[in-house]
Amino acid sequence: MQFSILAGSSANRLFSLETTMTKTQIDRLGARLKKAQFEDADLRLLDGYRRSFADAYNAVVLAIRETLLLQPTGRPSKSTPSIVEKLGRESIRLSQMQDIAGCRVVVSDFSEQELVVSKLHSHFDTAVVIDRRKKPSHGYRAVHIIVTTCERNVEIQVRTALQHRWAEFSEKLADVRDPAFKYGGGEETLRRQLFDISDLVGAIESLEEQLRDMSRGQIASAPGMMVRIDPVVQEVKDQVDQTRRKLDAILIKMIDEVKKAD
pLDDT tens for the 262 residues of the chain, in order: 433 333 333 444 444 444 478 999 999 999 999 998 889 999 999 999 999 999 999 999 999 999 889 999 998 899 999 999 999 999 999 999 999 999 999 999 999 999 999 999 999 999 999 999 989 999 999 999 999 999 999 999 999 999 999 999 999 999 999 999 988 999 999 999 999 999 999 999 999 999 888 877 655 555 655 556 678 778 888 899 999 999 999 999 999 998 888 7
Nearest one of 171, 180, 186, 183 to 254, comparing CA atoms: 171
Does residue 138 form part of some domain?
A: no
Question: Closest Cα partner for 177 from 261, 59, 101?
Answer: 261
User: How many beta carbons lie within 10 A of that of residue 169, not counting itself?
Assistant: 22
Is residue 128 domain-resident? no
pLDDT recorded at residue 10: 41
pLDDT of residue 67: 87
Look at residue 157 and tell me if it is in a domain.
Answer: no
Rg (CA), the chain: 21
**How many structural domains comprise the chain?**
2
Q: What is d(CA 122, CA 72) in angstroms, rounded to the nearest whole number?
A: 17
Identify the domain containing residue 247 by its residue range: 164-261
Q: How far is CA 257 from CA 52, 169, 250, in A?
A: 39, 10, 11
Give a yes or no: residue 143 inside a domain. Answer: no
Nearest to 194 by CA among 175, 174, 219, 215: 174
- Domain closes at, from 18, 37, 52: 52
The verdict on residue 183 lying in a domain is: yes
Residue 240 within any structural domain of the chain:
yes
Answer yes or no: is 102 within a domain: no
Residue 1 covered by a domain = yes
Please tell me the pTM assigned to this model: 0.84
